[in-house]
Amino acid sequence: MAEAERIIGTPDIPEAEHGADGGQDAGGGQDAEGAQKPTGKRKIAVLFGVALVAYALDLVSKMVVVAKLEHHEPIDVVGDLLRFNAIRNAGAAFGMGEAYTIIFTVIAAGVIVVIARLARKLYSLPWAIALGLLLGGALGNLTDRIFRSPGVFKGAVVDFIAPKGFAVFNLADSAIVCGGILIVLLSFRGLDPDGTVHKD
């Protein structure tokens, strides 16, 4: 067999189509030493960086609200158009579905798992930002549901941003909504999380 290979020769394998180990890379043509892999890792770093910032801002704001604003009169921020008013919300975002706290807790945990799985195939910066906002917001409200009264997985979320004529919400809700809007816009543009663009 070795003699036959010596006589026939081994066909050249283009580097653009195969990795260093001879197998084609699933990422779209670049091997482990190419540009795509580090780029993908940077996008994952952006995702978790955005999530960390969103989570930290939400957590700190809730700590301040509970310590300084809860059980006190609302604070007018922009006349009567916007005020800070601390309330406890056992439902979903904007006070919806208070009878289903445990279900919303499970959904939030599921969203976090899905985002973590998507991160492995993430090569798009806008998607990294959108998923980071969703992850940070979901973690923020999930923390409330786990650690706040009346009990584990039944905790009420701290809301405090109260625009006139609108439901009271928090920074985690804002991050989730902004992330969701960005995902819708990216989907309309045909941009996938792996960086490919498709047109229907």
The residues assigned a catalytic role are: 159, 173
At residue 20, what is the residue type? A
Cα maximum dimension of the chain: 90
**Rounded Cα–Cα distance for residues 142 and 131 (Å):** 16
Residues 6+ apart with CB under 8 A from 153: 101, 102, 105, 145, 146
Residues 6+ apart with CB under 8 A from 171: 54, 57, 58, 61, 137, 140, 161
Give the ranges where 69-170 is alpha helix by DSSP (H): 101-118, 125-147
**Rounded Cα–Cα distance for residues 181 and 188 (Å):** 11
At residue 16, what is the residue type? A
What is the SS3 assignment for 34? coil
